[in-house]
Structure 1
């Protein structure tokens, strides 16, 4: 590998053209994620690769592994998976909160077969469907002393006949004898660490992965809509990791903090694979990651103790950190990265004022592996999520009347599309005699990925998001970007989070409403916040009709605002008010089915069904009437 070609000058937006003048194939990227790890172990065998914290209370007691030790552990785990029958085209499911063993198991699953991470918060029905689609018959799962609820789910899946083996994980740094494991007919169950201890650490059995082999399958979607299963090749993951590592911002001394769950692509690509390129140490938080409240009270001390220089988190994390007084020397923190959701200006400003560190914004999605754009701290472009990464092409388009895509000029907003080496090969829909069946499901057109995001791109390749197409609030044909409402509310000093959605309206189709959470001890009222927003939202039509205060806004497992729950609540509130004077309405139940909100109105036998149907017919919603017996 030619190191000169591997590392171009990449410090400013102006470097992009020179980087792309060299073909990507000439860069000499490793063949696979395993080859990337093996390279790191050869170059820096005695350097600490990972330091895993048991939890926030024991943040000074990490479990450390050098690059050489990490490679040996991955060999052991991969050889155990091979012993359990896993081959190159076989998926290995992984379901656990972050811990040292999960990091090793994830890399080993990509070496022996294909990693299929699962979020333990998914319903058993969805987990079973993901197992069916992936074909995984081996599950690496949290044990009873790591995550009891996840362990209960793993046992249930095993008893349902979905698995042939369950390999059990223990907490980071666990001491003493583990709890005995129950027997399940026809299923091999054992502690992964114990079983792997006798395996060969020096070499692996089975075929090495190649660049176009599948490396992983990541489920996408929320916790209630049926998730899809996006496939990644080794080339996808290695290339995207290199695009991030190539930045001249990062060097071998850049210590990275990781706290997002490993079933999310950001944790894998940004904080596990990318640091392998330059031999960076990664400090991993405990199993709850950013969802552990105690972490925030210790966070600045963690930064000082480990000299954290870079981290990756979602906007809600930085909003919380902006409320934490700095009680340590955090001068090492130079590159806090933010993505997964648009960054409100108020969150950016408050975090930077608190920490003194400039947030590095990024943009990406699972279907494009992970990252597709990133900003430059010294070359700010207000409201941009950054410049496209090298070798990824972007276009903004609209669908023509015949369904074809029509490109829009620079600066004009439309649907964002991406092509290049990080675009995924498709969703896994099942298996046949030739292996996994992949389908773009309408998201891939001639190598271009329809992201579903609304954006504009300037002449320098900087991307300006304006929301998800499905998140737009359409008031009487007037498109409203929820971000303008959210930014106005987040500028209030007592507001900690905000989400704006459309509420059904009999006249305008939808009107904007907003939900917020408040800082401890806040005194502001819902009406105060409504008036505050009306004075600051630049478009009068976008001023929220109502603002509702919640203890906490609904989020996904990685801290991303989950708006379908807010849309469902807004729909229910509106219909309860509209049907208030009609006798016999027992209850209104709102369910989220995929991306649709479905209303079920439960009524007594004596209810005036005609009057109820007349009211419901005024709204552009899906509804059903159920007469209670």
Structure 2
């Protein structure tokens, strides 16, 4: 354990035992900035000429990014904030942000939090979903990807701006766009223009009429499931965001000159807290991927060169990114890369081992959720690493497991006993936006918070040192490569088919994405033969985001029920798991074969028999398969071995 703090803001935080020493000092005595704006001002004063952000145009042109220093970023934020203020944005007014990443987006988001509330929305959502979210947020103006950056998002933004009667719609351009910008079509009753032109000539000093945010003021609304049928808007205060960013930045695993790579979109809390606010607190340079982020295939081809050029020290991504990077030859000097952070969906042993063996770079797993701002746990390197856990609770955060009865009553469980994970502390959100009036939004936790404790919906075990081991999910959310997918949106889409009488969606284990959505349906009598391809295509036309489209739709005579007649997904998950194992074995056993493997899988209560899989000559006798996120390990052996 390290000696007591010498710097209140940055205590020693290298090992699990430091937590007790850190918490011996009250959080209010740590001297944290009051708001995300104060955080920015502090950075500009401490490191005025140090590079703050570099925005890359795309993966192919990674060496032609646009960079700003900390003082230039502050001045950008002031100019944009003055523009927002001139359009009537106040403390409870939202600014909608509908765009992938580009150079001016961080300044626009921080300016929205300075003058009012930022409401970033996934531009891949349907126009109807975007409009619903921004109407609920009370967005007065909208900043969106212009026609060069994302034509679909721009069309959606024009429709939404007109429907919501926004006062202004400002377009963002791609990094490295030519000097001549295309003309923007007008929208009746809405001022339309390019953001970079609208702020030209505005003062770099903040207008005295702008009311500075306080710790308890709302900073942002983040939608909790970008692919859900009815996503909820979770509100964050400035204190929520600053405190969580400080908890993440407080670790000593990075030096003062470390560079962070950012590839997640800014409608994702991880992008805001981990790769924007936390680096601002420590004066670190962030390099931001192009508009497609980690979804740009070319990024992986050039990634190691980017690491070498910018001397990247760490990055934050989902498991699918590391699975892809583990297959890319290391063709550059990546000695600057100290560790990589993984979160948003469960990390499988297979992905961890493949990435670490391929690169020599350790993966540090974290856990969090939007309703707890972002991060709740963190991992350690070296001798303090516990790869079986999702990390130790962050300072001033409390974690426990509970049993929740059918009537909603909570019962605390003894330490170490598995149950539903509950979290309390300064990062727990104030509630969802459920309505609004002239005075501002109405917030309600909708039963997720009880006496300050947030029900995460995840099953876990907590050890005496505060390390959290995730055991599964109490809720039915499907997590595909970090995307939260509500099964209801898939079920609703399929139920719109005239022949479908029942639908249930579950996650099927997948070695690359953790899970992929699949669905089971029943059909009306006399419907005739309707194939999976037809149902998948129908669902794709009625689902807001492509990631939520089911990979397969299985027709059943009836959907399973519990003993008391309620729908049950347990048999469906088992069947999906059986099919995943069959696919894995089929992939390994393709070719001209002569033997068949007969085996079964079980969850401890139910055994599911697999169809025979052809064994090719030369296929190894034992096949080990790890299926996440259920934590199931099986070894299949040929008969007679």
CA distance in 2, matches of 1:496, 1:40: 37
Equivalent residue, structure 1, for 2:70: 67
Q: Give yes or no for contact 1:241–1:274 (8 Å, CA) kept in 2.
A: yes
1:290-319 C-alpha deviation (Å, 9 max, x unpaired): 000000000111111111001000011111
1:200-252 C-alpha deviation (Å, 9 max, x unpaired): 11223411110000000001114242100000000000000000010011231
Equivalent residue, structure 1, for 2:546: none
Q: Is the partner of 2:323 in helix, strand or coil?
A: helix
CA distance in 2, matches of 1:446, 1:426: 13
Q: Give yes or no for contact 1:498–1:516 (8 Å, CA) kept in 2.
A: no
Are 2:353 and 1:290 aligned? Answer: no
Q: Which residue among 177, 192, 196 is the counterpart of 1:193?
A: 196
Q: Give yes or no for contact 2:397–2:425 (8 Å, CA) kept in 1.
A: yes
1:75-112 C-alpha deviation (Å, 9 max, x unpaired): 00110111111111110000000011111111111111
Are 2:149 and 1:146 aligned? Answer: yes
Are 2:385 and 1:322 aligned? Answer: no
Are 2:112 and 1:49 aligned? Answer: no
Q: Is the partner of 1:325 in helix, strand or coil?
A: coil
Normalising to structure 1: TM-score of the pair?
A: 0.79
Change (3 A) 1:435 1:167: same
In the TM superposition, residue 380 of structure 1 has moved relative to its aligned partner by 2.1
Structure 1 stretches of at least 4 aligned residues deviating more than 4 Å after TM superposition: 495-509, 515-519, 521-526, 531-540, 542-548
Change (3 A) 1:289 1:196: same
Equivalent residue, structure 2, for 1:512: 575
CA distance in 2, matches of 1:89, 1:339: 31
Q: Which residue among 211, 220, 233 is the counterpart of 1:207?
A: 211
Q: Give yes or no for contact 2:601–2:610 (8 Å, CA) kept in 1.
A: no
Q: Is the partner of 1:56 in helix, strand or coil?
A: coil
Are 2:128 and 1:125 aligned? Answer: yes
1:480-524 C-alpha deviation (Å, 9 max, x unpaired): xx99x94xx74xxxx7765587965579854331466999x9664
Q: Give yes or no for contact 2:135–2:164 (8 Å, CA) kept in 1.
A: no
Change (3 A) 1:533 1:497: farther
Equivalent residue, structure 2, for 1:577: none
In the TM superposition, residue 163 of structure 1 has moved relative to its aligned partner by 2.2
CA distance in 1, matches of 2:31, 2:342: 29
Q: Give yes or no for contact 1:52–1:63 (8 Å, CA) kept in 2.
A: yes
Q: Which residue among 13, 16, 30 is the counterpart of 1:13?
A: 16
Q: Is the partner of 2:308 in helix, strand or coil?
A: helix
Q: Which residue among 457, 465, 471 is the counterpart of 2:462?
A: 457
Q: Which residue among 146, 155, 159 is the counterpart of 1:156?
A: 159
Moved more, 195-204 or 312-321: 195-204
CA distance in 2, matches of 1:501, 1:538: 19
CA distance in 2, matches of 1:461, 1:301: 38
CA distance in 1, matches of 2:597, 2:59: 37
CA distance in 2, matches of 1:537, 1:411: 25
Moved more, 246-255 or 272-281: 246-255
Moved more, 82-91 or 234-243: 82-91
Q: Give yes or no for contact 1:131–1:162 (8 Å, CA) kept in 2.
A: no
CA distance in 2, matches of 1:544, 1:81: 62
1:345-379 C-alpha deviation (Å, 9 max, x unpaired): 10000000111011010000000000000111221
Equivalent residue, structure 1, for 2:388: 383
Equivalent residue, structure 2, for 1:416: 421
1:49-90 C-alpha deviation (Å, 9 max, x unpaired): 011110001101110100010000110011011111111111
CA distance in 2, matches of 1:304, 1:10: 28
CA distance in 1, matches of 2:136, 2:38: 28
Change (3 A) 1:186 1:239: same
Q: Is the partner of 1:57 in helix, strand or coil?
A: coil
Q: Give yes or no for contact 1:77–1:196 (8 Å, CA) kept in 2.
A: yes
Change (3 A) 1:372 1:543: farther
For residues 143-542 of structure 1, the aligned pairs below 5 Å read 143-204=146-207, 205-378=209-382, 379-400=384-405, 402-471=407-476, 486=509, 490=511, 499=516, 504-505=559-560, 509-510=571-572, 511-514=574-577, 524=589, 539=604, 541=606
Equivalent residue, structure 1, for 2:534: none
Q: Give yes or no for contact 2:80–2:111 (8 Å, CA) kept in 1.
A: yes
Q: Give yes or no for contact 1:135–1:430 (8 Å, CA) kept in 2.
A: no
CA distance in 2, matches of 1:533, 1:405: 44
In the TM superposition, residue 536 of structure 1 has moved relative to its aligned partner by 8.1
Q: Give yes or no for contact 1:116–1:216 (8 Å, CA) kept in 2.
A: yes
Change (3 A) 1:25 1:505: same
In the TM superposition, residue 185 of structure 1 has moved relative to its aligned partner by 1.2
CA distance in 2, matches of 1:451, 1:167: 37
Structure 2 unaligned runs (5+)?
Answer: 479-505, 521-558, 563-569, 614-626, 630-641
CA distance in 2, matches of 1:254, 1:447: 36
Normalising to structure 2: TM-score of the pair?
A: 0.78
Q: Is the partner of 1:470 in helix, strand or coil?
A: coil
Structure 1 unaligned runs (5+)?
Answer: 474-481, 549-560, 564-629
CA distance in 2, matches of 1:22, 1:263: 33
Q: Give yes or no for contact 1:534–1:540 (8 Å, CA) kept in 2.
A: no
RMSD of equivalent CA atoms: 3.0
Moved more, 364-373 or 218-227: 218-227
